[in-house]
Amino acid sequence: GENVEQHPSTLSVQEGDSAVIKCTYSDSASNYFPWYKQELGKGPQLIIDIRSNVGEKKDQRIAVTLNKTAKHFSLHITETQPEDSAVYFCAASLDTGGFKTIFGAGTRLFVKA
């Protein structure tokens, strides 16, 4: 079945620096890749997504890139701020007759002021 690996598990950056989180997926049929941000004590919140027919998508300080050939996608956060500190999850969606989204294990991002 589909497997999603996410790296790094923990990332610490200085405020104003960029942060990059990388994910790889195993099933080439996956065609939708969302990213979620989870703050302490809350449920994950969708922050950006990309479809397999698009190579890059940007929304203000966050961007996602997708390399279908290599089966990996990345989240880029520029000009990081303390409020960006959270756990980030990547995910890949695969249609096998059910509605299944497979999540990565998460990356805990610390932004130091």
Q: What residues line the site for another protein (CB under 8 A)? A: 1, 4, 6, 31-32, 34, 36, 41-46, 49, 51, 89, 93-95, 98-101, 103-106
What's the min distance (Å) between Cβ of 17 and another protein? 25
- Work out whether the CA dihedral 56, 74, 52, 37 comes out positive or negative: negative
Residue with tokens 């203000």: 60
Q: Which is nearer to another protein, 42 or 113 (CB)?
A: 42
Q: Which is nearer to another protein, 19 or 90 (CB)?
A: 90
What is d(CA 88, CA 33) in angstroms, rounded to the nearest whole number? 13
What's the min distance (Å) between Cβ of 101 and another protein? 5
Strand partners, 20: 76
What is d(CA 29, CA 25) in angstroms, rounded to the nearest whole number? 10
What's the min distance (Å) between Cβ of 38 and another protein? 8
Q: Which is nearer to another protein, 49 or 110 (CB)?
A: 49
Backbone angles phi, psi at 69, to 5 degrees: -65, -45
